Amino acid sequence: MTETRTVVTGATGHLGRPTMAALRAAGQDVVGLTSSGGPGLVQVNLLEDDSAANGLLAALAGADTVVHAATTNGRLDLRMAENLVAAASAARIRHLVLISIVGIERIPIGFYRDRVRIEEIALGSGVPLTILRATQFHSFVDGVFSAQRFSPVILTPSVRLQPIAVEDVAARLAELAMEEPAGRAHDIGGPAVRTGRDLQSAWRAATGSHRPALPLRFPGRLGAAYAAGAALVPGVPFGVSTFEDYLAGRYA
């Protein structure tokens, strides 16, 4: 590993913040990009290309590596990816590190199809890169249940998941950013495969909820993909923090 200047997009986001912290803890020179700006950060709108003078090329000047952790959680992520890889190519970035999701080519969800397309955009750019696919974050699972706070029952997907702590993913992104481009890195998942009902029971205990669970079974190809383990990572798990660890910190 060598010291490099690394740019992290989405620097104040859920994944960007711990990724920057992990890189700095390893002694790396890190620059954070964010659309809103802030102390010690560079304000850049990734939804605008440099023809709009948003300063993306200037922000990448002198950088060796870019970790792309920014997201809108929607289709605008495609435009961000296009603008970023174009600027990274022009800036002669030597390593682009891209976060993605396990099972996106097998699970028929629109958001996942967009993740496949983002990977294709990055791969077609000619910029040397590493793609890391991770399972769903603990916070995502929490959000599925928390979003139903006004419902008399908790719809609980009848699927197997392998949720992972965002800090564990950030640590792996930082490691990869300090290494040579690897193409598709090994997928990573959380410490245990859990059922939706199991996760919901843990969430109820942590939040003090007494509402009953109502199983939600996905039909057709979607249900078949989850049943076949498309959202899981076989083998030795990477993540170490459990969903209960997350809940203890979140709802203590």
The CA radius of gyration of the chain, in Å to the nearest whole number, is 19
For residue 154, what are its two tokens?
């908790």
Residue 55: predicted pLDDT: 85
Residue 50: predicted pLDDT: 65
Exposure string over 47-62, b if 16+ CB within 10 A, otherwise e: bbbbeeebbbbebbee
Residue 1: predicted pLDDT: 47
pTM over 0.85: yes
- Does residue 122 contact residue 88 with C-beta atoms inside 8 Å? no
Q: How far apart are CA 156 and CA 152, in angstroms?
A: 13
- Tens digit of pLDDT per residue, the chain (252 long)? 455 799 999 999 999 999 999 999 999 999 999 988 888 899 999 998 765 445 899 999 999 999 999 999 999 999 999 999 999 999 999 999 999 999 999 999 999 999 999 999 999 999 999 999 999 999 999 999 999 989 999 999 999 999 999 999 999 999 999 999 999 999 999 999 999 999 999 999 999 999 999 999 999 999 999 999 999 999 999 999 999 999 999 998
Residue 13: predicted pLDDT: 95
Residue 64: predicted pLDDT: 96
What residues does each domain of the chain span? 5-251
Q: Is the CATH code 3.40.309.10 the one for domain 5-251? A: no
